[in-house]
Amino acid sequence: MPRKVPFSHRSSWSSQPNELTTLVASQKATGAVPVDMTLSNPTRAGLPYPPGLLSSLASPASLSYEPEPLGLLSSREYLASWYRARGQHRSAERTVLTASSSESYSHLFHLLADPGDEVLIPAPSYPLLSFLADLAGVRLRAYPLHYAGAWFIDLEMLREMVNERTRAILVVSPNNPTGSYVKESEAAALQELAQEQGLALISDEVFAEYPLQGPPRGRSLAEYDGCLTFALGGLSKLVGLPQLKLGWIFVSGPDIQVTEALSRLEIIADTYLSVSTPVQQALPSLLEAAEEVGDAIRERTHRNLTTLRRALEGTTATVLDTEGGWYTVLHLPSTLTEMEWTLALLRNGVHVHPGHFFDFPREPFVVLSLLPEPKDFDEGLRRILQTLEEKISIF
């Protein structure tokens, strides 16, 4: 009998469907497709894209392959100038192009940490990080975001969590799913802690261009230079084009640290050379569409959040403060558990995320996307209200 092939521990994730995914699959199989209020794919949200948006991908220049590990200099220069035109200082020489934000994370985990080293991340937060960390052999430890009418970082606990294996502090601004920006005072405290402890800051800013309450309540951490900082962005959110696979890392901080980080990142990126030439060549024309597509997304998310808040006024559900991004959080009555609420909503034909999916420390919370088309969002909201009425009337 042949010996069993040994698989790595880092890929030993459970693939067993949970009760929620099983019910979703069962409903779809019978044709009872629920209203999807977890929608995160902008290309499935009925958004208007400019005609001919992708024509630049056929540029003859793409037939010439120039394997520049950090990305084509012309593309990095255009990207930096695009940000500078919006009042945000960026340097092409300190920019690294990647195939996605996920690859940006992977590069940075390999740059900053050896197996067993730690990166501090916020909770609640998006669950993808744990898979990326497992693949890199990095341990994640969660510092809490608290809510008291608005979200804030528990800076005292964060400081206490730093130890000899800590290599970086990661923030997401605005956070997914809380929608909270890193405030100026928090950014200053994070930079001070990083300087003091010799840590790097990683700032995921892919949703930064989508404020929901006026101007963003915090500025990019790429604007700070007191410690080694990596700010992440990408086409997936900026132009609503996740399929084109282009992300970027802006590196800032003390010159000597930035120089070494870029030198090491160049080798890491050169190992894969995963960024395609056509999307780099097309970057200028794609960024020209950022305002039009971004305006459509901003209009959609503002409209849906306003509708949600008005509809839930006076009910037993609370919409938590949401500053930016594409998601919002509902706090539901504790008459049911979080999973009971999620399954009850699904049986009433509306699919939402349970809060524990994002590591909320208590329940019951559910997370909704603000991207669905208005008719779908309104129908999903009607079913949420119906479920609330039905379940609360029982008690």
Question: Residue 392's pLDDT is what?
Answer: 81
pLDDT given for residue 160 in this prediction: 98
Give the separation between CA 242 and CA 47, rounded to whole angstroms.
14
Higher pLDDT pick, 309 / 214: 309
**Residue that is written with structure tokens 């909270």 in the block:** 180
User: Is residue 118 over pLDDT 90?
Assistant: yes
Give me the pLDDT at residue 224, please: 87
Reply yes or no on whether the pLDDT at 217 is more than 80: no
Listed range (79-83, 137-141, 389-393) with the worst mean pLDDT = 389-393
At 102 the pLDDT is: 97
Phi, psi (rounded to 5 degrees) for 22? -65, -40
Residue 251: C-alpha distances to residues 24, 97, 129, 166, 371 (Å): 42, 11, 20, 20, 31
pLDDT tens-digit readout, 316-338:
999 999 999 999 999 999 999 99
- pLDDT for the residue numbered 394: 55
Mean pLDDT calculated for residue range 186-205: 97
What percentage of the chain carries pLDDT values higher than 90? 87
pLDDT at 28: 80
Q: pLDDT tens for residues 338-391?
A: 999 999 999 999 999 999 999 999 999 999 999 999 999 999 999 999 999 998
* pLDDT in the model for residue 19: 83
Number of neighbouring beta carbons within 10 Å of residue 213 = 14
- Residue 395 is predicted with a pLDDT of 46
CATH number of 63-288: 3.40.640.10
Mean pLDDT of 219-230: 92
Residue 87 confidence (pLDDT):
92
Percent of the chain whose pLDDT exceeds 70: 99
In this predicted structure, what is the pLDDT of residue 163? 98
CATH 3.40.640.10 segments of the chain: 63-288
Contact predicate 109/133, CB 8 Å: yes
Q: What are the tens digits of pLDDT across the range 246-257?
A: 999 999 999 999
Name the token pair of 280.
């780099």
Domain 18-48+290-393, architecture per CATH: Alpha-Beta Complex (3.90)
Q: Mean of the per-residue pLDDT values for the chain?
A: 95
Domain with CATH 3.90.1150.10 in the chain: 18-48+290-393
